[in-house]
Amino acid sequence: MKFSIYNKEKVVGYLFILAPILQFFIFALGPLIYSFYASFTDWDGLTQPSFIGLENYKEIVLDDRFWKALYNTIFYMIGIPIGMFLSIILAILMNQKLRGISIYRVIYYIPNISSLVAIAILWQWIYNPDYGILNNMLYKLFHIQGPNWLYNTTWVKPAIIIVTVWRGLGYSTLLYLAGLQNIPHVYYEAAEIDGASSLKKFIYITLPLLTPTSFYIVVTTCIGGLQMFVEPQILANNGGPEYSAATVVFYLWQKAFINYDMGYACAVAWILGAIIFVVTLIQFKYANKWVYGMD
Amino acid sequence: MLKKFKKALSLVVCLIIFLSLFTVININNSSVEASSKIKITWMGFGQPHEKELYTKLVKKFMERYKNITVDYICTAPGQEYGMKIQAAMASGKLPDVFYVPPENLRAWVDAGKLLKITKYVKASKEINLNNIWPQAISRYMYDGKTIGKGDIYALPKDVGPFAFGYNKTMFKREGIPLPDPKKPYTWEEFVKICKKVTKDTNGDGKLDQWGTDLDVNWTLHMFVWSNGSDWLDNTKTKVTIDDPKFIEALQFFADLRNKYKVTPTAVQGQSISGYQRWLNGQLAFFPVGPWDVPVYNKLKFEYDLIPPPVSPRTKKPATWLGSLGFGVASTTKYPQQAVDLAAFLSTDREGQRMAYQMGLQIPNLIDMAKNEYAKWKEKPNNKMEFIRVVEDYGRRFPFEYTYDREWYDTFYSGLQPVLDGKMTAEQYCKQVKSKIQKLLDKANQKAKK
């Protein structure tokens, strides 16, 4: 076999990505296959599993807690478009030649790298209905008596959405900022010569050219959002009032590690995995309809 | 080109062989070490002051047993420990000694993860079983069917008597005669005092002092048990929450807020916790666990212990008695040494003294608790109440008897409307009973396997 330059590059490339690939085969593939098998078993996570066929899956269909957790998880997705909208605006603001712009960029990125426990304590304080800053502001500005955010079945989900949007804002803003800086200036100059307004430039140049970034953000945040666990877990005790804050991952964690239902939890995980797969597939299928630069 | 690739490949292979050499050398090293020195690992969780205590005790243990090295791993309290220990169980890499929450005992024993330690305990010179609370040991005894019978599977780290406290300063200020700890208040008397102290003290039109503010998860038991009822029947196979006495107790608990109005309202209650209000000196009554004592002793007001209020039906107090145990892994290579360590951590006199003086717990040693500890000058004065809880009226949470606690958690997860007065206790208990029974059946089926 003759090695062309192309082939040599290929080999080097593979060598570079060998570490994560090996990592996947050694640490992830085995558990992945095993969990698929385990989802067909009655297994407490301690003793030997016993094969029960589709029983777990049948039970999940009739399990109102699972459906409630799934509904909550999907509800939390409302945060994705809100977060994207806000981060585009922020990215545009941060793309200006402002004094101390790097300080702003750092500030908006801090929530993303902060300890979740610290964030939980901060927001629990903000949401406190008696002395919390949020209800205080609502009262002082609009004379509205704010709700009891984290202990109210109606308000706990919006409260958690606000936290996740706030937390993810820095990351997507950074991506949009990179996207913005990739747009060649000549387009804007050409549009200016044609007499386009700032709004028109934004709608006809900026937004379309940012669609690859938007696509990336939609796909990754959907996957991440469907796997949401930590925020509801630490902000809302035990799944929240009447389980109104629990997510699918929270539910499967509870099943696996509190109630010794590891087999059942594996089945929940695979159903979630299938949902994520389908959602991502649909996104890719329809990507060419709105993502600029995709075939 | 091919040559270069071969070169690169052989380099990678060399590297792999070189790295694997290290692991071989390591394995050899450890086997050499093991023959001369015994290494025991023990894993627990805890706050920094607990970690400090056990680090000292481990050091003392190693001074006594020169041939044993103890590797102490301390995780953060809460769920992290549970997940770590389950992962260790699944992979067969359990530490030699580790914490066993009593609720997990059945599952862990049935799965063959815990060592039967009865004979090692008897052989250990570290421990005198007669001087440890039998109420603590019995939680870790199991014969394959019932908790409290058969072999010992763990030694107590502590017992946690959840006693009741009152704000002495407030009683004096309001001109209420101080309670007699030997004669508990009846529910009626309790409500009467609560009503008397619930008021607006600064005249701003808002209440700022209440009778009490109890967390349902930790204190509903005081009322249910004292009313002669329980969550489960004696066989632990039937849910009994539709028993009229159970319903009555739950309704009384909810009425404290909604009918008698002696606790903060639902909204007030969730904004500042009862705990915080007690610390602020705004409540007349509140539970006190030994672990609370260091914080409570720094408060600006005087407090002391009394038995919780009693139901007119039984006139007997009841409360929760918690515990945590030291278990030994069934896979340990050194069972006797591991049990010696567990026994040492559980009962070393100096360690127990340090533990109570740090405010971690009451002593596990009966003689020390009843003499030295009861006479200790620190508040609360009536420390004997803690001991009465242990010996007389403390009980285990109902889920400690069952294989898992899903049934119990489900009972609590829908309780809010009752506490808010939007649903009666009777409606709730009757409506949710069959669902909870099903979950209990499921848990019991797991146990039978």
Q: What is the DSSP code string of B23-80?
A: HHHHHHHHHHHHHHSEEEEEEEE--HHHHHHHHHHHHHHHHHSTTEEEEEEEEPTTHH
Cα separation, B87 vs B81, in Å, equals 10
pLDDT of residue A98: 78
B279-282 long-range contacts (CB < 8 A, ≥24 apart) are B281/B167, B281/B169, B281/B170, B282/B208, B282/B209, B282/B210
Q: Minimal Cα distance from A233: which residue of B? A: B79
Contact B202/B208 with Cβ under 8 angstroms? Answer: yes
Q: CB neighbours of B168 closer than 8 A, spacing ≥ 6? A: B178, B301, B302, B303, B304
Q: Tell me the chain A residues in contact with residue B409 when contact means C-beta distances shorter than 8 Å.
A: 238, 258
The number of C-beta contacts closer than 8 angstroms across A and B is: 74
Q: Which site among B81, B404, B428 would you substitute to test the A interface, given the most A Cβ atoms closer than 10 Å to its Cβ?
A: B404
- The number of folded domains in chain A is 1
Residue A28 lies in a domain: no
Contact A86/A111 with Cβ under 8 angstroms? Answer: no
Residue A169 lies in a domain: yes
Q: Tell me the chain A residues in contact with residue B89 when contact means C-beta distances shorter than 8 Å.
A: 45-46
Q: Tell me the chain A residues in contact with residue B446 when contact means C-beta distances shorter than 8 Å.
A: 44, 260
User: pLDDT exceeding 90 applies to what percent of chain B?
Assistant: 74
> What is the residue whose two structure tokens read 């503010």?
B213
Neighbours of B83 (CB within 10 A): 15
B403 and A239: CB-CB below 8 Å? no
Q: Which site among B406, B407, B420 would you substitute to test the A interface, given the most A Cβ atoms closer than 10 Å to its Cβ?
A: B406
Hey, which residues does B310 pair with through a beta bridge?
B186
Over chain B, what is the mean pLDDT? 89
Q: Which site among B16, B270, B435, B444 would you substitute to test the A interface, given the most A Cβ atoms closer than 10 Å to its Cβ?
A: B270
- pLDDT of B145 above 70: yes
**B400 touches A: beta carbon within 8 Å:** no
**B267 touches A: beta carbon within 8 Å:** yes
Taken in order B421, B422, B426, B429, is the CA torsion positive or negative? negative
**B432 touches A: beta carbon within 8 Å:** no
pLDDT 10s digits, B289-347: 999 998 999 999 999 999 999 999 999 999 999 999 999 999 999 999 999 999 999 99
C-alpha distance from A57 to closest chain B C-alpha (Å): 16
Taken in order A60, A266, B327, B98, is the CA torsion positive or negative? negative
Contact A150/A135 with Cβ under 8 angstroms? Answer: no
Would you give the distance in Å from CA B315 to the centre of its chain?
26
Cα separation, A137 vs B196, in Å, equals 35
- pLDDT of B14 above 60: no
Neighbours of B82 (CB within 10 A): 16
Task: Measure the CA angle with vertex A224, ends A218 and A228; round to 5°.
Answer: 135
- pLDDT of B19 above 50: no
B2 and A242: CB-CB below 8 Å? no
C-alpha distance from B414 to closest chain A C-alpha (Å): 5
Fold of B38-160+322-395: D-Maltodextrin-Binding Protein; domain 2 (3.40.190)
Would you tell me which residues 66-85 of chain B have a C-beta closer than 8 angstroms to some C-beta of chain A? 79, 82-83
Most confident of A240-249, B30-39, B44-53, B172-181: B172-181
pLDDT 10s digits, B149-191: 999 999 999 999 999 999 999 999 999 999 999 999 999 999 9
Residue A45 lies in a domain: no
When CB atoms are compared, the residue of B82, B89, B413 closest to A242 is B413
- Mapped onto helix, strand or coil, the DSSP state of residue B447 is helix
Contact A252/A60 with Cβ under 8 angstroms? Answer: no
Confidence of residue B130 (pLDDT cuts 50, 70, 90): very high
pLDDT of residue B32: 39
Confidence of residue B3 (pLDDT cuts 50, 70, 90): low
pLDDT of residue A245: 92
Judged on CB neighbours under 10 Å (0-12, 13-18, 19+), A106 is exposed
B1 and A15: CB-CB below 8 Å? no
Confidence of residue B269 (pLDDT cuts 50, 70, 90): low
CATH number at residue A150: 1.10.3720.10
C-alpha distance from B140 to closest chain A C-alpha (Å): 19
Contact A169/A107 with Cβ under 8 angstroms? Answer: no
Q: Which two tokens stand for residue B216?
A: 């349902």
- pLDDT of B368 above 80: yes
pLDDT of residue A125: 85
CA-CA-CA-CA dihedral for A33, A34, A37, A40, to nearest 10: -130
Residue A25 lies in a domain: no
Amino acid identity at B36: S
Q: Which two tokens stand for residue A207?
A: 């937004």
**A44 touches B: beta carbon within 8 Å:** yes
pLDDT of residue B5: 53
**A241 touches B: beta carbon within 8 Å:** yes
A241 and B416: CB-CB below 8 Å? yes
Contact B323/B207 with Cβ under 8 angstroms? Answer: no
Q: Which two tokens stand for residue A45?
A: 């996570």
Q: Tell me the chain A residues in contact with residue B413 when contact means C-beta distances shorter than 8 Å.
A: 238-239, 242-243
Cα separation, A164 vs A82, in Å, equals 11
Residues of chain B with CATH 3.40.190.10: 38-160+322-395, 163-320+398-447
A46 and B113: CB-CB below 8 Å? yes
**Whose CA is closest to B411, among B255, B269, B247, B248?**
B247
Confidence of residue B82 (pLDDT cuts 50, 70, 90): confident
Average pLDDT of the segment spanning B204-225: 94
Q: What ipTM was reported for this prediction?
A: 0.71
- Which residues, given as ranges, of chain A have pLDDT below 50? 294-295
Architecture of domain B163-320+398-447: 3-Layer(aba) Sandwich (3.40)
**Whose CA is closest to B169, among B284, B294, B262?**
B284
The DSSP 8-state label assigned to residue B369 in this structure reads I
Cα separation, A66 vs B178, in Å, equals 52
pLDDT 10s digits, B229-266: 999 999 999 999 999 999 999 999 999 999 999 999 87
Query: pTM of the entire structure?
Result: 0.81
**B107 touches A: beta carbon within 8 Å:** yes
pLDDT of residue B271: 63
Q: Tell me the chain B residues in contact with residue A44 when contact means C-beta distances shorter than 8 Å.
A: 107, 111, 446
Residue A41 lies in a domain: no
- pLDDT of B60 above 70: yes
B108 and A8: CB-CB below 8 Å? no
Residue A46 lies in a domain: no
Range of the domain at A93: 59-289
Residue A294 lies in a domain: no
Contact A268/A251 with Cβ under 8 angstroms? Answer: yes
Amino acid identity at B244: P
Contact B96/B40 with Cβ under 8 angstroms? Answer: yes
A258 and B406: CB-CB below 8 Å? yes
Cα separation, A72 vs B190, in Å, equals 42
When CB atoms are compared, the residue of A3, A50, A151 closest to B5 is A3
Q: CB neighbours of B22 closer than 8 A, spacing ≥ 6? A: none
Average pLDDT of the segment spanning B45-64: 92
Contact B293/B358 with Cβ under 8 angstroms? Answer: no
Residue A107 lies in a domain: yes
B271 and A46: CB-CB below 8 Å? no
Hey, which residues does B305 pair with through a beta bridge?
B165
Q: Tell me the chain A residues in contact with residue B112 when contact means C-beta distances shorter than 8 Å.
A: 47
Amino acid identity at B319: T
Q: Tell me the chain B residues in contact with residue A241 when contact means C-beta distances shorter than 8 Å.
A: 416
- Mapped onto helix, strand or coil, the DSSP state of residue B312 is coil
Average pLDDT of the segment spanning B134-159: 94
When CB atoms are compared, the residue of B270, B405, B446 closest to A258 is B405
